[in-house]
Amino acid sequence: MTQHSFAYLDEQTKRMIRRAILKAVAVPGYQVPFGSREMPLSYGWGTGGVQVTASVIGPTDVLKVIDQGADDTTNAVSIRKFFVRTTAVATTTRTEEATLIQTRHRIPETPLREGQILVLQVPIPEPLRWLEPREAETRKMHALEEYGVMYVRLYEDITRHGRVAQTYEYPVIVNGRYLMRPSPIPKFDNPKLDRSPALMLFGAGREKRIYAVPPWTSVKSLDFEDHPFEVEHWERPCGLCGARGVFLDEIIVDDKGGRLFICSDTDFCSRRRADREAGSGE
């Protein structure tokens, strides 16, 4: 029985995926079909993200893996273990130390920097899928830049609810051309995509698509002049670190309606608490 290659995938497969990534970077927001492989983890668990990470990771990379913003969720632990086993690279929970971050559903609160790569796991890459189930049709709509239906859908929300009732995978236009589904990150994270210094790679394994937002690329959330794009706010700060203006998870602490709101980004939250304790100790 032979050993697996570095990062599991054989070199030909990595080369094929890198070609797809290069094309995706060259045409921001365009979904590039690629020969997605069957991975030893289940579809829906991040097979696309894992293949992208496996194709760009090198021995000197420092890897961070998060799910729901947290480093210690079971799936993040499992994917981190997979790469430690197959590459032996260094891992970290600190956002700024990582050269490569694989994530599901969040973008870290700590601003990303130039040279970092963020790999997002994508279940359904096609932003028009709920409006048109057929791939042959949606590819045509992208080719013709025919995005009117999406504006109509947002407009219908406004007539019904007085606002756009889309809270995650909120559609964006990348580089003024392609409509893109920013994986299911909450719309709270959409502004972090715009002109980010880091490279954002999106991998959809089951659907066999890769797309990208290169550094410093414009990413605009769809809106209307009289209904500008907004993100959600919480009235209270994080119950553990006191941060404001961050995405909070809600934890039910008892059966009497008690609730605790805490940062979804565990690295951001625990380091703020550590800093505070260090500060008060002096």
Partner 1 sequence: MYVAVKGGERAIDNAHRLLAQARRGDPAVPELSLAQIEQQLGLAVDRVMTEGSLYDRELAALAIKQARGDLIEAIFLLRAYRTTLPRLGVSVPVDTDAMVVERRVSAIFKDLPGGQILGPTFDYTHRLLDFDLARPRVEGGAGPEDEVPSAAEAATPRVVDLLDREGLIESEPEEADGTSVGDLTREPLMFPAGRDVRLQSLARGDEGFLLAMGYATQRGYGRNHPFAGEIRHGEVTVTLAPEELGFPIEVGVVTVTECQMVNQFKGSATSPPQFTRGYGLVFGAAERKAMAMALVDRALRGRELGEEAASPTQDEEFVLSHSDNVEASGFVQHLKLPHYVDFQAELVLVRDLRAVHGGATAR
Are 62 and 91 contacting, i.e. CB atoms less than 8 angstroms apart? yes
Our answer to whether residue 162 is catalytic in this structure is no
- For 85, the token pair is 């086993």
Instruction: Please give the distance of CA 188 from its chain centroid, rounded to a whole number.
Output: 12
Under the criterion CB under 8 A, does residue 232 sit at the interface with partner 1? Answer: yes
Task: Please tell me which residue in 238, 239, 257, 281 is annotated as part of the active site.
Answer: 238
> Which is closer to partner 1, CB of 107 or CB of 219?
107
Under the criterion CB under 8 A, does residue 4 sit at the interface with partner 1? Answer: yes
Pairing relationship of beta strands 32-33 and 100-104 according to DSSP bridges: unpaired
Residue 150 CA to residue 126 CA, distance in Å, equals 12
> Which is closer to partner 1, CB of 44 or CB of 242?
44
Task: Please tell me which residue in 29, 69, 203, 205 is annotated as part of the active site.
Answer: 29
Q: Quick one: which of 30, 34, 82, 268 contacts partner 1 (CB under 8 A)?
A: 34
Only segment of 73-81, 89-97, 213-221, 271-279 that touches partner 1 (CB under 8 A): 73-81
If you ran DSSP here, which 8-state letter would residue 252 be given? Answer: E
Residue 66 CA to residue 189 CA, distance in Å, equals 15
Residue 168 CA to residue 171 CA, distance in Å, equals 9
Our answer to whether residue 29 is catalytic in this structure is yes
Tell me the residue ranges of DSSP E strands in 149-264.
Answer: 172-174, 178-180, 199-204, 209-213, 219-221, 248-252, 259-263
> Which is closer to partner 1, CB of 78 or CB of 175?
78
Under the criterion CB under 8 A, does residue 14 sit at the interface with partner 1? Answer: no
End-to-end Cα distance, the chain: 57
If you ran DSSP here, which 8-state letter would residue 277 be given? Answer: H
Are 68 and 264 contacting, i.e. CB atoms less than 8 angstroms apart? yes
Min. distance of Cβ 15 from partner 1 in angstroms? 13
Min. distance of Cβ 44 from partner 1 in angstroms? 3
Nearest to 95, CA basis, from 73, 75, 112, 114: 112
Question: Which helix H or strand E contains 74, and what residues bound it?
Answer: helix 74-87
Site for partner 1 in 149-188 (CB under 8 A): 161-162, 165, 167-168, 184-188
Our answer to whether residue 241 is catalytic in this structure is yes
Our answer to whether residue 49 is catalytic in this structure is no
Q: Quick one: which of 15, 22, 26, 35 contacts partner 1 (CB under 8 A)?
A: 35
Under the criterion CB under 8 A, does residue 26 sit at the interface with partner 1? Answer: no
Under the criterion CB under 8 A, does residue 194 sit at the interface with partner 1? Answer: no
Pairing relationship of beta strands 178-180 and 199-204 according to DSSP bridges: unpaired
Task: Please tell me which residue in 48, 49, 203, 241 is annotated as part of the active site.
Answer: 241
**Contacting positions for partner 1 (CB under 8 A):** 4, 8, 10, 33-40, 42-45, 47, 67-70, 72-75, 77-78, 81, 104-106, 123, 133-136, 161-162, 165, 167-168, 184-188, 206, 208-209, 232, 234, 240, 247-251, 253, 262, 264, 266
Active-site annotation, residues: 29, 238, 241, 263, 269
